[in-house]
Amino acid sequence: MAGNLLAAPRVGVLALQGDFREHLGVLNSLGAEAVPVRRPNEIADLDGLVIPGGESSVMDKLSRAFGIAEPLRAAIAAGLPVYGTCAGLIMLADTVLDAIDSQRTLGGLAISVRRNAFGNQLDSFETELAIPELGVVPVHAVFIRAPVVESVGDSVAVLARLDDGRVVAVESRNLLGTAFHPEVTGDARFHEYFLKKVHDERARSRG
């Protein structure tokens, strides 16, 4: 992992497909050194990584075509902090219940997810979520062709549920995942929460 503890953390955003530019903007605004990541040699000096929304099956195919899937799996297993939003949450899930043929994930989160659980683009919606870890003010969440977490393992903490009980935000050690898109709302609290994981891991690894 890169740099010293006083330097800005170097956080990659997987830029194969999806809304990676929005995440780069939010991370840079919070003082991180945010960089697009497309190739295996761009992983080694990262302090953290964001996997954006998009189309998980396309992201999977491109990550394998670019030779970055296996290095990412190894980095996740080694403790690299990673935040996945929407399709990124699917990429971090150990199990995709309605995966298309040959679809694979990077894994790391002991969860089962269902793709497009709320329908197509026309079924996108917004709601307010109570997330105590982020403070008393509810989080305005935007769901766009969003997945849902159907089950969680013992190592996974639930951060947010919809009113009907469905799980839409989780974390486990170095990993964070949301079914919605904080990068489009102007509320940077989830990115701040993730950067705290990045800072904590930098301190731990240099301790």
Q: What is the pLDDT of residues 30-54, one digit of tens each?
A: 999 999 999 999 999 999 999 999 9
Residue recorded with tokens 């009907």:
164
Q: Specify the pLDDT at position 8.
A: 93
Q: Catalytic: which of 33, 140, 150, 181?
A: 181
**CA count, 13 A, side-chain hemisphere, 85:** 25
The contacts of residue 36 (CB under 8 Å, 6+ apart) are 12, 13, 15, 20, 24
Cross-strand bridge partners of residue 82: 49, 175
Tally helices (H) and strands (E) across the chain: 5, 12
Report how many domains make up the chain: 1
Enclosing domain of residue 34: 10-206
Asked if residue 173 belongs to a domain, the reply is: yes
How does residue 1 score in pLDDT terms, banded at 50, 70 and 90? very low
Q: Catalytic: which of 23, 70, 126, 183?
A: 183
Predicted TM-score (pTM) of the model is 0.94
Q: Tell me: the pLDDT tens digits for 54-84?
A: 999 999 999 999 999 999 999 999 999 999 9
Asked if residue 191 belongs to a domain, the reply is: yes
From residue 18, how far is each of 14, 50, 100, 194, 198 by CA, in Å?
Answer: 9, 12, 18, 19, 23
183 annotated active-site: yes
Q: Catalytic: which of 86, 171, 191, 201?
A: 86
Asked if residue 181 belongs to a domain, the reply is: yes
Task: Say if residues 76 and 175 touch (Cβ distance below 8 Å).
Answer: yes
Asked if residue 3 belongs to a domain, the reply is: no
CATH number of domain containing 158: 3.40.50.880
Residue recorded with tokens 């904590």:
200
140 annotated active-site: no
Asked if residue 180 belongs to a domain, the reply is: yes
